Structure 1
Amino acid sequence: MAKTSGKAKKEAAKRNEYGRYKSWFWTIFAIGISAIVLLFLLASWGVFGTMPTFEELENPETNLATEIISSDGKSLGKYYNENRTPVKFEELPDHLVNALVATEDERFYDHAGIDAKGTMRAAVYLGKRGGASTITQQLAKQLFTQDVSQNFVGRVLQKFKEWIIATRLERQYTKEEIITMYFNQYDFLYQAVGIKSASKIYFDKEPMELKPEESAVLVGMLVNSAYYNPVRRPELVEQRRNTVLGQMAKNDYITEEERDSLQQIPMEIKFTPQGHDEGVATYFRVYLQGFMKDWIEENPKPDGTKYNIYRDGLKIYTSIDSRMQKYAEEAVHAHLANLQKEFDKQNRNNKTAPFRDISGEEREKIIRDAMRRSERWRILKEQGKSNEEIAASFEKKTQMQVFTWKGNKDTVMTPKDSILYYKSFFNAGMMSMTPQTGEVKAWVGGINFKHFKYDHVKQGKRQVGSTFKPFVYATAIDQLHLSPCDTLPRSLHTIEAGKHNNQNDWTPKNSDGKYDGMLSLKRGLAESVNTVTARLIDRTGPKPVIDLVEKLGVDTREIPEVPAIALGAAEISVFEMVSAYSTFVNEGVYVKPMIVSRIEDKNGTILYQHVPETRDVLSKEAAYVTVNLLEGVTQFGSGTRLRGDWGVNDPYYKAIMTGYPYNFSNSEIPIAGKTGTTQNQSDGWFMGMVPTLATGVWVGAEDRAVHFGSIRYGQGAAMALPIWGLYMKKVYADPQINVPKGPFPRPEVVTIQTDCSSYGKAASENEDSLPDELDF
């Protein structure tokens, strides 16, 4: 009995002890659950840090780059603090989305923001068999919880916040929207924020153009873009890419055969940085930046605040054609690299190189002035250095990266020597425009924006030489109803002091030294005979010429009202010259150049729509006759280099005429144009027009003392015309651009005689005896 009682007591004690354990278990479990619930509640109430509001979840605040878009739909560049341009889900290829889900969140379509199975696995194995963060949690972290605490408690609280935000995001957005936001948000390094920037920077493609193996590279970077860096660790990234492809096969997005095939493809990265100094149309983008600054000042948001091009995600649709821009940049680079080679060759024995026709003292003065204008001088001056100390610093060798025609080069030289080095380079300004609409199709402001910031299209103004003469001829045609067939003496002509505000007698000379016989106006302009132009401005007076030039869009405030302007001493920009010449092609109607067609906000709402600005300047007949005169330049004058292969075996042509012969058919492609050369060959110009495109080219150096020693090499027909020829050959060869080859438009009624067939015959007979210089 006693034994039975003792056994019962022991069993009762065990039951009581089990009950206590059970009670403690459920109590601890309840406390744990309550604590977790409480933590969730406290986190959601913002106790552990501010939580996003409903409005913030609806419209997450991100820095969106403003994108510059060409007329043919290509991205020219961006303005940004963060280089992020959002895409829509429809713009993402299926294999990119599948790679993301297979690698980062296999059960993405089955959970509501938190993967319970993944979370339990991570807790049991302490993350050794994979993490538990879903795509939605990673998005929550990127959007709202980027600052991660370094201590354990902080990381736990951070995770609670991510869970809460993730579940809210799942309620707020569809799965497709979450994937899209994730791809738009991630930073892929090198200013590649978001999948669109990453596709462009690493593969020079739009996201939809990515191949499966390329998508796998970008998805592989998502785990840690700094570690899996395609530029610095290509072998590691290729291994990671293959892991992603394996995950795609595991989740049945691709077959095992496709996996094996894709893994065998060598990884090819086409690294294309999108910094502000790189890419296409760099000079244009800087000018556009100023345009946008003015537009923003005049067009505030509905709430009164100002737009920000660095974070508001605007889309700027421009007139630039990406293909024509590419051809223009290629033409400038090809010819100037060739021109520079010849210039350097001719300068080998020049003691004042790269300058000519100056003394050693003048050379040193140019260098001293450049030193004082430099950024180095400004910075050292702000640091309190004396002028002597600063000047001495320019004599000390230092490491630097300099521009060469074969790419940037690391070297060691003194800052003073670098000034001389950069002074020696020829530069260029080039603009191409559709006369009928004012659309600027190509804009090349220089040879390399990183090293030469000055824009020679709009910012720079240089003497235009003989390219000014058509304005004198157009004034004479408009006022006096002259014909291209009318003749004037080639002989010397003096405009006496006191006439037309002329302070002294003015007797210009012809560059070829010929003064005999009579010349038709067509021949006078084609051969750029100075005495003929002088006679014309004597008859019209300089003021009507200036008035016409002003109506053609040129700033005339610095152009003096004297006869000597007829030969091109005025300083005018490429931008102004192209718009002025375009008016002749557009039947006398001036159209203000247009660079922006419309501006949209990030939602696609149109904020700005271009409205053309036009005005009648010349009659249709006067404009047509002027174009007819300018056609003579390419038929009988210095522009004949565009037509045939005259002089093709001349060593001079091989050395200087890049891409020669151009072989533009006289019957198929009408070309009106004018070359121009200024004093001492410091500036070379060519203005060329076809019926639907007007293009201007200027070539010269920063200092006018840097020039060729002879007119043979330094004239506009050798310095600038080849760029036009190379550019237009590529434009005509591209069927997608489709520049028509028909004749210039002719008015229904033309009372002025333009058929000077007798002159054309004489010119063709004397073609082989054309002088080297026809455009001075």
Structure 2
Amino acid sequence: MAKKKEAKKQENTSNEFQGYVRWFWKLFLGGILAVVMLFLLASWGVFGELPDYTVLENPKTNLATEIISSDGKTLGKFYFNDNRTPVSFDELPKNLVDALVATEDARFYEHSGIDARGTLRALVYLGGKGGASTISQQLARQLFVGVRSKGLDKYTQKVKEWIIATKLERQYTKEEIIAMYFNIYDFGNNADGIRSASSIYFNREPDELDIKESAMLVGMFKNSSLYNPRPHKNPVGTKNRRNVVLNQMAKYNFITEKTSDSLKALDLGLRYSPQSHRDGIATYFRAYLDGFVKDWIKNNPKPDGEKYNLYGDGLKIYTTIDSRMQTHAENAVEKHMPRLQAEFDNQNTPERNATAPFLELSKSDVEALMQRGMRQSERWRVMKKAGKTDKEIIASFDKETAMSIFSWKGEIDTIMKPMDSMRYYKKFLHPGMMSMDPLTGHVKAWVGGMNYRHFQYDHVKQGKRQVGSTFKPFVYATAIDQLHLSPCYKMPRSQITIEAMKFGNPNPWTPKNADGDYAGELTLEAGLAGSVNTITARLMDKVGPQPVIDLVKKLGVESEIPAVPSIGLGTADISVYEMVAAYATFANQGVYTKPVMVTHIEDKNGTVLYQFTPESRDVISEETAYVTVKLLEGVTRSGSGARLRRTWMPKTGPYPEIITGYPYEFTNPIAGKTGTTQNQSDGWFMGMVPNLVTGVWVGAEDRATHFRSISYGQGASMALPIWGMYMRSCYEDEELEISKDDFIVPKKLTIQVNCATYDSGDEEADPSEEIPDELDF
């Protein structure tokens, strides 16, 4: 009986165990079936659409258009929200890849998108010992899934990540996945992708990053908003997170413990360089380029007929700007302009000038000028667009408001009436500068102002101002071309009245010399070097204004120039852009070459979409061009440009170098010309060496804002110092290969240019020979 009970008990136990086994297999198989069904449902799109293979092959990301200098540097980018420029795996340094693998996915090269060990560990410990997301899964989330979900969606999102991750692993190599991961991540502060991040945080290209820099950027993958290295954000937390990455690199033997410990003791080494449309290098040039490319896009659609997106298609714009020369130009402006402005402010205090900063204006004139400025302002435009009445807008200009204003010592946060801020900004002197290779037409530097964030008006191409005596070489060149004159030819410096009726102008014109000296005679070389007005007037009387205008037009000047004799003294308004191109013709042996800013444009795949076509034309003979250059060399030897030869620094006054010149110590041939308008509102200097022509203008927004005296208000004080400092920096940078040679002498030179041997028996016309009173023109 006992045996039967025992057998029955064992049978029941066996049945019970078999029941557990059956339940186990049911649960196990059911679980597998559920997982399979979950994956099938997810792949069928039940939990949301999944990308197909065509999308996987071309993930949709907004790519910034990159502006590239002639020396291969990134000048800036065009973008709306995503400042992203992709890089290939080959452009990533090994230490950066090692840091990523060690921190985010140590078995990255072993799995196929899902790390089974990591997933099991996460399930057992409920995520307490780290998550299970592989690099491929994180990339899937960044590209196709989106931000982390909560609740039930959290699990369906994870399933979608797994599916997409495995598809990515089949579609791409491990190296391509890593590159995509670095390119897609938002590192904050407009640093979209590793290219922008390395530039913004360390002012480097990705392949230049060292171990500690790489570790910091990889550490930001955890949370770039939290681990933000900027001083007012979280530099301590960012450093701690960086050190965690260094520990991981040592743990997986990518670096030694000793190296890890030494690097952890170092600071972040941040070199924060913000990138925005109003910050960085060549801001005014980039603003010009924005319009240039948009115009090109209008007329050059994609093969499918759609228009290119300047801010999202990842175009590459290859420019002629040299980043080194651009930096030298901006540095020269930043060094000279604060000193010039300080002297101007010193001379135009309210105590010394009741209508400061304006001169020669009555209070009613100033009031009218400010009223015009108010109606032309951005504030007026915005408020008018918002439906405000004129009365409401005018009232707003007298209400104090918080604002950030420009100063040469940095931005100032203040509270000010908009009308007062307008007057404050009217006092500032502005620069415009362009540098160009005369042979190729390649523009090497473009400084349209001193601070694009506060002053968007471009004084290179947009602005046009009276050019003063920098126009005189065009008169001389016309006379040389038509009359075959030598620089040694002498003319009286006495006053002359031109009966302008013969030129279609009813008013006679009697120019005056700045120094009031009308005695004796001068060679053309001395006349141009001293910028003697009566010598220029006599030449103008012989050739007439229309041939001069015809020449100037052939030299690329499009500005309107009236056919009157007084244009010879520079009354016409012309841009820096036009003047540089015109002067470059003299340096280029009489051949005009249209300025070039863009060499070619590529799409994101490297396909060339645009290639520039050079535009050039013969304007004057090689001989005429060379003789004009020799005349301009005289300006820097004995004229207003002679301070470029100075080898010492004066000691008197707070800024004596403005008037007397910095110690530039130039000894090489330089052709140049200063220019000053009658009331000292515009100062110019045009300077040339054989392979570089540079023009500089300085003046205020309103011509009523100017220096009282010629000492500070002349081109030699306002503009020439910028040229001198720029060229000195260019010469010190030997890689630029800026010429110190003589200008090329024509093979057939019939005009005598050496005045020391002018009367030595050379077989040419007597320099005192009568010039005909009129020419047919």
Task: For 2:126, give the aligned amino acid.
Answer: L
Tell me the equivalent position of 1:317. 318
Tell me the equivalent position of 1:121. 121
Tell me the equivalent position of 1:774. none
Contact 1:338–1:655 (CA under 8 A) maintained in structure 2: no
Tell me the equivalent position of 1:108. 108
Task: For 2:112, give the aligned amino acid.
Answer: A
Alignment of 1:227-306 (within 5 A): 227-231=226-230, 232-306=233-307
How far apart are 1:381 and its partner, in Å? 2.8
648-657 or 371-380: bigger deviation = 648-657
Task: For 1:588, give the aligned amino acid.
Answer: G
Contact 1:335–1:658 (CA under 8 A) maintained in structure 2: no
Distance 1:649 1:158 in 2: 74
How far apart are 1:758 and its partner, in Å? 7.7
Residue deviations 1:178-225 (CA, integer Å, cap 9, x gap): 001100110000110110100000000011111100100000000111
With over 3 angstroms needed to count, the CA separation of the structure-2 counterparts of 1:228 and 1:646, relative to structure 1, is closer
Q: Does 2:728 correspond to 1:729?
A: yes
Tell me the equivalent position of 2:567. 565
Tell me the equivalent position of 2:710. 711
Tell me the equivalent position of 2:426. 423
Residue deviations 1:90-142 (CA, integer Å, cap 9, x gap): 11111100000000001101000000111111111111110110000000111
Distance 1:396 1:483 in 2: 64
Alignment of 1:200-599 (within 5 A): 200-231=199-230, 232-348=233-349, 349-556=352-559, 558-599=560-601
How far apart are 1:6 and its partner, in Å? 2.6
Contact 1:432–1:443 (CA under 8 A) maintained in structure 2: yes
Tell me the equivalent position of 1:601. 603
Where does the alignment leave 5 or more consecutive residues of structure 1 unmatched? 761-776
Task: For 1:275, give the aligned amino acid.
Answer: S
How far apart are 1:166 and its partner, in Å? 0.3
Residue deviations 1:643-688 (CA, integer Å, cap 9, x gap): 12589355486152496121111xxx10001100112101000000
Task: For 1:101, give the aligned amino acid.
Answer: V
Task: For 2:723, give the aligned amino acid.
Answer: W
Distance 1:285 1:227 in 2: 32
How far apart are 1:383 and its partner, in Å? 3.7
Distance 1:485 1:273 in 2: 56
What secondary structure does 2:298 align onto?
helix
Where does the alignment leave 5 or more consecutive residues of structure 2 unmatched? 760-777
Contact 1:653–1:660 (CA under 8 A) maintained in structure 2: no
Q: TM-score, normalised by structure 1?
A: 0.95
Residue deviations 1:590-624 (CA, integer Å, cap 9, x gap): 11111111222212222222221110001000000
Tell me the equivalent position of 1:771. none
Task: For 1:86, give the aligned amino acid.
Answer: P
Distance 2:385 2:265 in 1: 58
Contact 1:510–1:529 (CA under 8 A) maintained in structure 2: yes
What secondary structure does 2:656 align onto?
helix
Distance 2:52 2:647 in 1: 73
Distance 1:649 1:659 in 2: 11
Residue deviations 1:481-515 (CA, integer Å, cap 9, x gap): 11111111111111114111112111111111111
With over 3 angstroms needed to count, the CA separation of the structure-2 counterparts of 1:220 and 1:659, relative to structure 1, is farther
What secondary structure does 2:473 align onto?
helix
Task: For 1:125, give the aligned amino acid.
Answer: Y
What secondary structure does 1:681 align onto?
coil
Alignment of 1:658-677 (within 5 A): 660-665=662-667, 669-677=668-676
Alignment of 1:650-661 (within 5 A): 651=653, 654=656, 656-657=658-659, 660-661=662-663
Distance 1:153 1:730 in 2: 64
Contact 1:684–1:720 (CA under 8 A) maintained in structure 2: yes
Residue deviations 1:243-268 (CA, integer Å, cap 9, x gap): 00000000000111111111111222
Distance 1:329 1:139 in 2: 41
How far apart are 1:4 and its partner, in Å? 2.5
What secondary structure does 1:638 align onto?
coil
154-163 or 408-417: bigger deviation = 408-417
Contact 2:648–2:662 (CA under 8 A) maintained in structure 1: no
Q: Does 2:187 correspond to 1:185?
A: no
Distance 1:365 1:657 in 2: 34
Tell me the equivalent position of 1:622. 624
Residue deviations 1:489-544 (CA, integer Å, cap 9, x gap): 11111111411111211111111111111111111111111111111111111111
With over 3 angstroms needed to count, the CA separation of the structure-2 counterparts of 1:616 and 1:189, relative to structure 1, is same
Tell me the equivalent position of 1:768. none
Q: TM-score, normalised by structure 2?
A: 0.95
How far apart are 1:16 and its partner, in Å? 2.0
Distance 2:664 2:513 in 1: 29
Distance 1:647 1:61 in 2: 60
Contact 1:464–1:685 (CA under 8 A) maintained in structure 2: yes
With over 3 angstroms needed to count, the CA separation of the structure-2 counterparts of 1:71 and 1:657, relative to structure 1, is farther
Task: For 2:491, give the aligned amino acid.
Answer: L
Distance 1:490 1:657 in 2: 26
Tell me the equivalent position of 2:94. 94
Contact 1:433–1:695 (CA under 8 A) maintained in structure 2: yes
RMSD value, Cα: 1.5
Task: For 1:339, give the aligned amino acid.
Answer: L
Distance 1:720 1:147 in 2: 55
Alignment of 1:8-157 (within 5 A): 8-81=7-80, 82-150=82-150, 152-157=151-156
Task: For 1:273, give the aligned amino acid.
Answer: P
Residue deviations 1:249-297 (CA, integer Å, cap 9, x gap): 0000011111111111122211111011000000000111111112222
Distance 1:332 1:365 in 2: 32
How far apart are 1:14 and its partner, in Å? 2.2
What secondary structure does 2:469 align onto?
helix
Distance 2:104 2:525 in 1: 74
Distance 1:562 1:534 in 2: 11
What number of residue pairs does the alignment pair up? Answer: 754
Distance 1:90 1:405 in 2: 43
How far apart are 1:380 and its partner, in Å? 2.7
What secondary structure does 1:14 align onto?
helix
Contact 1:220–1:244 (CA under 8 A) maintained in structure 2: yes
Tell me the equivalent position of 1:641. 643
How far apart are 1:397 and its partner, in Å? 1.7
How far apart are 1:17 and its partner, in Å? 2.1
Contact 1:658–1:722 (CA under 8 A) maintained in structure 2: no
Distance 1:375 1:21 in 2: 80
Task: For 1:735, give the aligned amino acid.
Answer: E
